Amino acid sequence: MTQNLKRILFFIFLFFFSINIIAQEVFEINLSITDTVIIRKKVKKNYKYAIKVAVEINVQNVQDSLFLYSFRKYVTSLYFINDFSPDTYKNYSTGLLYVIEDENNHIISPPFPSHSSGITLKHLKKRMNERRFVTSKLKIKHKLLNEQEKQDYDFPKYVITNENQSLELFPLFGEYHYDLPKGDYFFYFVYSWLPPTNAWDNTLPIDDRAFRGYFVSNRVKLIVE
């Protein structure tokens, strides 16, 4: 796939998430990865495992609950991002994503997924109704969901009630970066959310307690063994 085609597909993806900003009390959110280093063994495509990352969310002056929409526990990455910086996400509503950079600070895009020409309509429909979960052993599993379950999965709402909250996130490393060569990398999260104000997002409520904005976590070393 050419770089120009990757750019076009990237902006098509972001088009469907772009929405206008409305007024909101300004909150500064700090997302900190508390693990000093992340170690993950190189995985084969057929053995898909996630990474478990401990994080802390810090926000000043929380008077009431604050919502982070599309702040997913099972964190995806994004294709077509080799030539972009984290600031690219600032004007789009992508939710929470993980990013991997090499030692020269170049973002490493996941390989574009391939699809078999022999795939059946039944199989395609099944995959559209599946979502990814992570077991206690960090193995990635696909599970069939109904319409409401898919809605809850695709647009989760993380609630902040305290100035400091700790949680665990599970980047789907074995789905997106299974072919990453052994070596040392940098790992971080990026989050962007703009309020739903158009037809693409009419299933989501407009709530004054929803955080509207953008933040990036600290970077930590990722070692692929």
Q: Which residue has the higher pLDDT, 16 or 92?
A: 92
Highest mean pLDDT: which of 5-9, 45-49, 191-195? 191-195
Q: What would the mean pLDDT of 87-92 be, rounded to a whole number?
A: 70
- The rounded distance, in Å, linking the Cα atoms of 185 and 30 is 22
Taking the domains of the chain in order of start, what are their residue ranges? 3-224
- Judged against a pLDDT cut of 50, whether residue 191 lies above it is answered with yes
Task: State residue 55's pLDDT score.
Answer: 97
Q: What would the mean pLDDT of 21-44 be, rounded to a whole number?
A: 76
- Judged against a pLDDT cut of 80, whether residue 17 lies above it is answered with no
Predicted confidence (pLDDT) per residue in 98-107, tens digit:
999 999 888 8
DSSP 191: E
Q: Give residue 60's Cα distance to chain centre.
A: 24
Q: What would the mean pLDDT of 10-14 be, rounded to a whole number?
A: 51
Q: What would the mean pLDDT of 56-60 be, rounded to a whole number?
A: 92
Rounded mean pLDDT of the chain?
A: 79
DSSP 210: B
Residue 174 and residue 47 in contact, taking contact as beta carbons nearer than 8 Å: yes
Q: What would the mean pLDDT of 90-103 be, rounded to a whole number?
A: 85
Instruction: Please report which helix (H) or strand (E) contains residue 16, including its range.
Output: none
Highest mean pLDDT: which of 10-14, 116-120, 147-151? 147-151
Residue 19 and residue 210 in contact, taking contact as beta carbons nearer than 8 Å: no
- The rounded distance, in Å, linking the Cα atoms of 100 and 186 is 6
Predicted confidence (pLDDT) per residue in 106-124, tens digit:
888 887 765 555 566 666 6
Task: State residue 154's pLDDT score.
Answer: 87
Give the pTM.
Answer: 0.79
pLDDT band for 24, please (50, 70, 90 cuts). Answer: very low
Task: State residue 18's pLDDT score.
Answer: 43
Residue 100 and residue 176 in contact, taking contact as beta carbons nearer than 8 Å: no
Give me the torsion for CA of 204, 78, 171, 54, rounded to 10°. -80
User: What is the phi/psi pair of residue 134, to 5°?
Assistant: -125, 130
Tokens of 49: 């495992």
Q: What would the mean pLDDT of 184-201 be, rounded to a whole number?
A: 76
Instruction: Please report which helix (H) or strand (E) contains residue 17, including its range.
Output: none
- Judged against a pLDDT cut of 70, whether residue 180 lies above it is answered with yes
Helical ranges in the chain per DSSP H: 3-15, 121-128, 147-154, 173-176
**Site of tokens 């509503």:** 93
- Judged against a pLDDT cut of 80, whether residue 11 lies above it is answered with no
Can you give the three-state secondary structure of 116-159, one letter per residue? CCCCCHHHHHHHHCEEEEECCCCEEEEEECCHHHHHHHHCCEEE
In residues, how long is the chain? 225
